[in-house]
Amino acid sequence: MQRTDSVAMLKTVGVQRLKQLHALGIDTVEDLMTYFPRDYEDRREEKGIAELTAGQSNTFVAKVLAAPEVFHYQKKTVIRARVGDEDGQVTCVWFGMTYLKNSLKVGEDYLFTGRYEVKYGKKQVLSPSFEMASKKDPLASGHILPIYPATHGLSQKILRKLIYQALEETKNQFPDLLPKKIREQYHLCEKNYALQNIHFPEDEEGFLLARQRLVFEELYLLQLALFSMKEETMKGRSGIRLSPQPGRQEAEAQMPFSLTQAQRKVLGQIEEDFVSGRVMNRLVQGDVGSGKTAVAMIVSYEAIQNGYQAALMAPTEVLASQHAKTFSEVLGPLGVRVGFLRGTMKKREKEALLAGIASGEVDMIIGTHAVIQSGVAFSALALVITDEQHRFGVKQRVRLSQKGQDPHVLVMTATPIPRTLALILYGDLDISVMDALPTGRQQVDTLVVTSAYHERVYGFLKRQMDAGRQVYVVCPSVEESEKRQTESVMQYGTYLAQEVFAAYRVGLLHGKMKPAQKEEIMVAFARGEIQMLVATTVIEVGVNVPNATVMVVENAEYFGLSQLHQLRGRVGRGTEKSYCVLISDAKNPEAKERLKTMKATSDGFRIAEMDLHLRGPGDFFGTRQHGLPPLKIANLYRDMEILTQAQQAARQTLQHKDELSKEQWQALEQWQKTAFTATDVGI
Ligand code: ADP
Ligand code: MG
């Protein structure tokens, strides 16, 4: 049998089973063998009857000595069966399960698992589970047995049998895709041994070796595919050379503050890329409020000063418009012409702007991702910046380079991504970390209260506004539909505006508003004309109003940790003491844990780590959204250490490609084909 054969070739697979296996995504023998257990059942602790421990569950093999008896005791049906081995005898007792009578055959050996008790001198095992035992059958007693994730009507027993059979029939047929050198260097076991031991481990060590090896292989292949894809897309491209000076100095002089050490460091790294002749692919991680916008402005100006254009993409129009304003204020005096591409623009206005971008009249183009990516023609684009963790994927790069552009790319995010994971998500990306906030920043005091505190919170908000400060009140996306969400913000906002805070200037902001309306509200809030902004999470990312000192989050349990951290980051941006009030009546332990974390720390890296921990990597990154292929055995969070090694190994391999066998290349190509069709990975 070949590993590529259909599972229909296996003896006991008929039409029905074929269907069931297909439903599990299993078509070939190889699919079956890479259908990995989710857990194991340790059946090795088998004892002789003389060794049973009273008061706990025991597993033992014994022969049924006499036909089971059925009798009634206090209206209950009781079944008793006398069983024994060479050294002793014991009675198995079941309650109410009359049908068992016929399942146990006299003279047969069974494997029993159940609680052993000695009462009034009687030795009994209570309601044991049992199955036919045969010492020679590896799928019964004395072994560690696999438990598979879903079975679609197939029992664990049948799956075990099928996989066992497949393993037997394809013995040692699997070519080892890992180069021998790498296997030796990382102490990895051989492939066939790993397959055998992941399903039917000889012992703990066998299992650990097998898992290590298979996880390594999976991550290694994934990484190799990503690296080589990146290499492919970068082939023959050279980066636009940009001289940082005098742009750097001029732009820096425009800043109303002096740069932090962290900002200088990151600027230095970007400038190194600019002069290198390579295309920059850099991720800048900087906690909320660390001043990423200033860095973006300076490097944009450097590109523009060299005679090129720069583009900045933001996830929301509110944020894009704020950036457009800031960039105009700071870079305008240096002669930079900023163009803000809105989703809704008058046709004429838009045409004029697009013409300006195409002719090079506009130097700095700002807009949402959607707007900038939809076929804007640039005259000489040298730098693309995406704000707040939106990727600029391979597809967009290719599209741009087809138009003769090969810009440097900078991704800015407040969500710290562990380097190892960033490599998976973004390909071979360089990472800069802004690890310090501007000095003089106030620590934001965080309070977690129940809704019983509403009156007191309102009183506090009034005192803050009376003192000249501004406040945010955020309502979550409790409702499924956007319409309902909007309604709830409108209702609650109206209540606050008309009843509680009638004497104050309250503004409402929600997703259903036209961009122009949103902008109007944001501008009014930034100017201080609105004192209280009641909003959905549209204000979550990036909004910067330094005079705002309180962030109230209603139903805080509905927000993820990173979201809460982002929301809290909207305050504490000026010199005044700031507060974050999280209101929640949640009882659910995980939600409580999140709120506790918020109270305990303001370190974005720790919060992200906790978030990753609570939610798992799939959820955290939206694996699907990122176009990551589904992993069969590796867990990106738990297996971080193996991932690091696999990445090293993949780099090594790419440097010595000639050492790969034909089969290894084929496997690699197969991986790319199945894993990345229709996805857009990396940068
Ligand atoms: P983020 O990194 O979250 O995008 P911003 O770029 O919005 O942060 O900056 C947050 C605030 O810090 C802004 O008001 C900005 O003007 C200010 N800021 C940035 N850099 C400095 C600095 N070096 N010193 C003082 N304030 C700074
Ligand atoms: Mg920002």
CB 536 within 8 A of CB 472: no
Q: Is the dihedral of CA 426, 431, 437, 438 positive or negative?
A: negative
The C-alpha atoms of residue 272 and residue 280 are separated, in whole angstroms, by 9
Q: Is 594 in the pocket of ligand 1 (CB under 6 A)?
A: no
Tokens of 263: 């900002």
The C-alpha atoms of residue 234 and residue 428 are separated, in whole angstroms, by 11
Tokens 């552009």 belong to which residue? 405
Output the CA 288–ligand 1 centroid distance in Å.
9
- Residue 301: per-residue pLDDT: 98
Task: Identify the residue whose C-alpha is closest to ligand 1 atom 25.
Answer: 438
Atom of ligand 1 nearest to the CA of 387: 4
Q: Is 566 in the pocket of ligand 1 (CB under 6 A)?
A: no
CB 401 within 8 A of CB 238: no
Q: Is 291 in the pocket of ligand 1 (CB under 6 A)?
A: yes
The C-alpha atoms of residue 628 and residue 620 are separated, in whole angstroms, by 13
Atom of ligand 1 nearest to the CA of 574: 14
pLDDT at 17 over 80: yes
Task: Work out the burial of residue 137: count CB atoms within 10 Å of its CB; fewer than 13 is exposed, 13-18 middle, 19 or more buried.
Answer: middle
Q: Is 290 in the pocket of ligand 1 (CB under 6 A)?
A: yes
Tokens of 159: 């799956």
Torsion, Cα of 266, 272, 274, 278 (10° steps): -120
The C-alpha atoms of residue 582 and residue 599 are separated, in whole angstroms, by 9
Tokens 């894993």 belong to which residue? 675
Q: What is the pLDDT of residues 581-637, one digit of tens each?
A: 999 998 888 888 889 999 998 888 778 777 777 765 555 544 444 455 667 888 776
Output the CA 292–ligand 2 centroid distance in Å.
6
Q: What is the pLDDT of residues 69-113, one digit of tens each?
A: 988 888 888 999 999 988 889 999 998 877 777 888 899 888 888
Tokens of 586: 């949640």
- Which-ligand-closest: CA of 266? 1
Ranked by mean pLDDT, which of 308-317, 331-340, 482-491, 645-654 comes out on top?
331-340
pLDDT, greater one: 402 or 573: 573
The percent of residues above 70 in pLDDT, for the chain, comes to 86
CA dist 68 to 85, 102, 250, Å?
A: 17, 8, 94
- Residue 629: per-residue pLDDT: 62
Beta strands 381-387 and 144-147 are unpaired
CB 604 within 8 A of CB 288: yes
- Beta carbons within 10 angstroms of residue 222's beta carbon: 25
Output the CA 259–ligand 1 centroid distance in Å.
9
- Residue 460: per-residue pLDDT: 97
Tokens of 661: 């066998």
Pocket test for ligand 1, best of 573, 575, 602 (most atoms within 8 A of CB): 573
> Which of 527, 522, 532 minimizes the C-alpha distance to 465?
532
CB 290 within 8 A of CB 457: no
- Residue 561: per-residue pLDDT: 85
| pLDDT band of 679, cuts 50, 70, 90 | very low
Output the CA 406–ligand 1 centroid distance in Å.
29
DSSP strands (E only) in 572-642: 579-583
CA dist 406 to 308, 390, 396, 477, 669, Å?
A: 12, 19, 11, 39, 27
Q: Strand, helix or coil at 550?
A: strand
Q: What is the pLDDT of residues 22-61, one digit of tens each?
A: 998 899 999 999 999 988 877 777 778 888 889 888 888 8
pLDDT, greater one: 229 or 95: 95
Tokens of 402: 């087809």
Q: Is 313 in the pocket of ligand 1 (CB under 6 A)?
A: no
Task: Identify the residue whose C-alpha is closest to ligand 1 atom 23.
Answer: 259
Q: Is 415 in the pocket of ligand 1 (CB under 6 A)?
A: no
Q: Is 288 in the pocket of ligand 1 (CB under 6 A)?
A: yes
Q: Is 547 in the pocket of ligand 1 (CB under 6 A)?
A: no
Neighbours of ion ligand 2 (CB under 5 A): 542
| pLDDT band of 533, cuts 50, 70, 90 | very high
- Which-ligand-closest: CA of 434? 1
- Residue 279: per-residue pLDDT: 87
Output the CA 312–ligand 1 centroid distance in Å.
17
Q: Is 574 in the pocket of ligand 1 (CB under 6 A)?
A: no
Q: Is 259 in the pocket of ligand 1 (CB under 6 A)?
A: yes
For 363, phi and psi rounded to 5 degrees?
A: -95, -40
Q: What angle do CA 338, 540, 266 make, to 5 degrees?
A: 60
Output the CA 261–ligand 1 centroid distance in Å.
13
Output the CA 383–ligand 2 centroid distance in Å.
18
The percent of residues above 90 in pLDDT, for the chain, comes to 39
Using only the alpha carbons of the chain, give its radius of gyration. 32
Pocket test for ligand 1, best of 257, 441, 540, 571 (most atoms within 8 A of CB): 257
pLDDT, greater one: 612 or 11: 11
Q: Is 542 in the pocket of ligand 1 (CB under 6 A)?
A: yes
The C-alpha atoms of residue 478 and residue 490 are separated, in whole angstroms, by 14
pTM over 0.95: no
- Which-ligand-closest: CA of 314? 2
Atom of ligand 1 nearest to the CA of 258: 23
pLDDT, greater one: 234 or 17: 17
CA dist 517 to 509, 521, 644, Å?
A: 9, 6, 48
Q: What is the pLDDT of residues 539-568, one digit of tens each?
A: 655 678 999 999 999 989 888 888 888 899
Task: Identify the residue whose C-alpha is closest to ligand 1 atom 17.
Answer: 291
Output the CA 436–ligand 1 centroid distance in Å.
11
